[in-house]
Structure 1
Amino acid sequence: MSDAPEGLILVDKPAGPTSHDVVARIRRATGQRRAGHTGTLDPPASGLLVIALGRATRLIRFLPESPKVYEGTIELGVTTETDDLAGRVLARDSGPLPAFEEVRDAARTLLGKQRQTPPAISAKKVDGERLYRRARRGEAVEAPAAEIEVFEFDLLEGASEGSLPFRASVSKGTYVRALARDLGALLGCGGALATLRRTAIGPFDVTSAISPPTEENESTLSAAAVVPLDRLPLTLPTHRIDVARVARFAHGGPLPAPETGTGWVRVDGPGGRILGVGELRDGTLTPRIVLVDPPA
C-alpha cells in the first residue's frame, strides 16, 4: 500500500482557480493519485472545498452534504446569462431600487423547500451533457427544476447602492446564483450574484481549512492537515465486529449480525478502526466497501 496520505483535507479555495485545479495541486503535493472533492465551487467563488484522498474517495457519498453555508453579495438591478456578474449582462433596471424592508420580506419568501431551476449556464447535466457545453454551442436548454431547501437566507448589515451582503444556509444541490436571480425576479428589478464564499459544509468549517499548495510550496503540505479515515464523520450507524471476524470481512465474506434492522452501516473493528461499509439485511452483514487488506 502506498505511503501517500488517505482521508480528508479541508482547503480554503481562493477565487480564480477551478475546483479541479485545487484538487490537482493537492494530488501533486501529497503524491496521492486518487483524489476528488465532495462538491464544486465555481471559479469566481472562494471558500471551503472538502477533498478526499485515497480510499476516502470511496466514502464521499456517505459524508455529510448539508447544510452548506455561504456568505456573499447580491447585486440588484442587473440580469445576466449566468445569474452572476461573471456572465453577459442581459438587462439593467434603471429605476429606483426597492427599499431594504421590501428586499428582506422577499428573501423570507425564499425560505423552505422549493423547486429551483438551475442557471442556464452551469455544470448541471441534461440528457447526459453539462449545460455550459450546450450553451457554448448556442443551444437554449432549460434544466428541469430540482427540489432544494433554503434553511436560512439572511441579509446582513452594509447594504448600499443595490449591493446586498447575505448569509445563506442551503441543502445540497442549491445554486446560490439562482437564489440571487430569484430574489431579483421577486423584486421586479433583476438580481445577480456578485461575490460568494462557502464557509461550511455540514460539520466541516472553513476556519479549519488550509490554503491550497502553490507551485512554489507544493512540498510543504503537513500530514497533520489530513483527517484520517478512522475519524471521518460518516452519515451511517456504526456496526462493530470482533477481531475474529475481521479476516472474513476483509475477504468480502458475509457475517451473521444480531441486529434486526436493515440498511448500510459503517463497519469498525477493534479500537475503532474503520474496516469499510456493509449492508445489514435479514440478520446478515454483507461487505459492500472493504477498506482493509486481508491478514497475511
Structure 2
Amino acid sequence: MINGIINIYKEKGYTSHDVVAKLRGILGQKKIGHTGTLDPDAEGVLPVCLGRATRLCDMLTEKNKIYEAVLLLGKTTDTQDITGRVLEERDTSSLTESYIKECIQGYIGEYEQLPPMYSALKVKGRKLYELAREGIEVERKKRLVQIFDITIDRIELPRISMEVKCSKGTYIRTLCHDIGQDLGAGGCMEALLRTKVGRFELKDSLRLAQVENLKETGKLSEVIVPTDAMFSELPSLTVADEYWTYACNGNPLKPEYMTKKKTVSEGERVRIYDEEKTFIGIYHYNISKGEYRLGKMFFSPSKK
C-alpha cells in the first residue's frame, strides 16, 4: 500500500470524488481520500492522501488556500457561478475602477459568509446541493471566514480577475456573489483556479494522466510526499526497540523510553519514530504526568 500525499491538479469536469475514484483505479488501492471539495468547473491544487496518510485529510482541509478567480459582474445566478440559472442581469457601464477596488478591498479581514445552497454542506444528513436541485431552500447560518488578501489583477468590465488568499471554509463563489451585490450590479464566479493549499502549490501539481505514467514507469515514489513531512517543523524523538509495543499500541511514553533525552515544554508536540526510522505518530508532552501522550497515530502495528 502506498502511504503519503500526492499533489493532484484537478481538471475541469471532474468532482473531487471523481479524482479519488480515478486514483483508486490507477494505484490499485482503496484507501485514498481528498482534502477539500473543488467544484466540477473549478481547477487546481487538490492534495490527495494515500494509505495511512488519510488520517491527515481533516488536518489538510484546515489549511489556508489561494485562488485565482474571475468575477463576472452584471449577472446573478442560483448557483453563484456561471453554470447556474440566470436570475437577474444588470448593466455595469456606470461602475468605475476606483469604486470596484474600494468595494473589493473592503472584504479583506474577517467577514460573515452565508454558505450557498449549491454546496456539499449537510443539513439533517442531506447535502445542500441535493435539496437545491429539488427546489428546496433551507435556512443556513452565516460562518465567519477570513480573507487575508485580495489582489486585483485586471478589470475589463464586466470581468474582474483577482487573486484571493483566504481561510478554510471560504466559498469564492459566494465572495463573488456578495461583491456583485454590494456593487449594485450583481455578480457570479466565471472561473476558478486553486493555486495553493498549505504547502502544496500549483507548479508541483500532477494531472491524473501524469500520475498514471509515473506509476507505469516505476517513478511514482518520486512525487509522493511522506506523511511525516507534513510535521517537519516539529522536533523528532526515537523510541527504543524495547518500548516499541508501548508506542504502536498508543500508550503514553516516558522520556526514558527514548534513545536520547530532550527538554520539552508543556503541551509541546513531537514526532516519534522507531529505531528503523519508521514514523509512528505525533505526541504531546504532559509535564504533570512526565510522559508523551499520543495525539495522532500514523503507524500500522502489523509492521513487526
Does TM, normalized by the shorter one, top 0.5? yes
1:72 corresponds to: 69
- Indicate if the aligned counterparts of 2:2 and 2:50 stay in contact, CA closer than 8 A: yes
- Indicate if the aligned counterparts of 1:112 and 1:150 stay in contact, CA closer than 8 A: yes
Q: Which residue among 94, 98, 116 is the counterpart of 2:95?
A: 98
1:240 corresponds to: 237
Aligned-pair identity (%): 32
Q: Which residue among 117, 120, 127 is the counterpart of 1:120?
A: 117
Question: Tell me, which stretches of 5 or more residues in structure 2 are unaligned?
Answer: 256-262
2:281 corresponds to: 276
Structure 1 position 40 matched with structure 2 position 37: yes
Give 3-state SS (helix, strand or coil) of 2:208's partner.
coil
* Partners of 1:105 and 1:123 in 2: CA distance: 32
Residue by residue over 1:46-70, the C-alpha shift from the partner in whole angstroms, topping out at 9 and shown as x without a partner, is: 0001000000001223347332000
Q: Which residue among 239, 249, 252 is the counterpart of 2:250?
A: 252
* Partners of 2:139 and 2:94 in 1: CA distance: 29
Count of residue correspondences: 291
Shift, 1:153, TM fit:
1.1
Pick closer, same or farther for the CA change 1:295–1:185 going to 2, 3 Å.
closer
Give 3-state SS (helix, strand or coil) of 2:130's partner.
helix
Shift, 1:256, TM fit:
1.9
* Partners of 1:216 and 1:280 in 2: CA distance: 42
Alignment of structure 1 residues 30-179 onto 2, 5 Å: 30-63=27-60, 65-94=62-91, 96-157=93-154, 159-179=155-175
* Partners of 1:64 and 1:164 in 2: CA distance: 27
Pick closer, same or farther for the CA change 1:214–1:20 going to 2, 3 Å.
farther
Select between 214-223 and 86-95 the one with higher mean Cα deviation.
214-223
2:205 corresponds to: 209
Shift, 1:284, TM fit:
2.4
Pick closer, same or farther for the CA change 1:286–1:62 going to 2, 3 Å.
same
Residue by residue over 1:156-196, the C-alpha shift from the partner in whole angstroms, topping out at 9 and shown as x without a partner, is: 13x22311111000000000001101110110110100000
- Indicate if the aligned counterparts of 2:73 and 2:158 stay in contact, CA closer than 8 A: yes
TM-score, normalization by structure 2: 0.87
Q: Which residue among 8, 13, 16 is the counterpart of 2:5?
A: 8
Letter in 1 for 2:231: L
Letter in 2 for 1:10: N
* Partners of 1:180 and 1:192 in 2: CA distance: 5
* Partners of 2:291 and 2:172 in 1: CA distance: 43
Shift, 1:268, TM fit:
3.1
